[in-house]
Amino acid sequence: MRVAFSEEEMNKVFKLIESNVEELGNAINPEAGTQSEFMFKKLKESISKTQGYLQKGLEKIKR
């Protein structure tokens, strides 16, 4: 039961983070250059990978 609660809370946190990152992406000035775009994409990938890693860890705990 605690794992299910933790998983639900983790998903809420990641949705909030992803929402904030999307807002940041919309605010990036196209004139800022490709480095800003690269860093933004890298941030999104890191968040996605971290979320997947944590979900796999919770799945292992459930077993």
Helix, coil or strand: residue 1: coil
Q: What is the DSSP letter of 45?
A: H
Q: Give the model confidence (pLDDT) of 10-40 as tens digits.
A: 888 989 998 888 888 888 777 767 878 888 8
Rounded distance between C-alpha atoms, residue 4 and residue 1, angstroms: 5
Whether the full predicted model's pTM is greater than 0.85, yes or no, is: no
What's the rounded Cα separation, in Å, for the pair 63 and 58? 9
DSSP H or E run through 28: none
Give me the chain's average pLDDT, please: 83
pLDDT computed for residue 46 by the predictor = 92
Q: Cα 62 to chain center, whole Å?
A: 22
Residue 1: pLDDT band with limits 50, 70, 90: low
* Per-residue pLDDT at 56 exceeds 80: yes
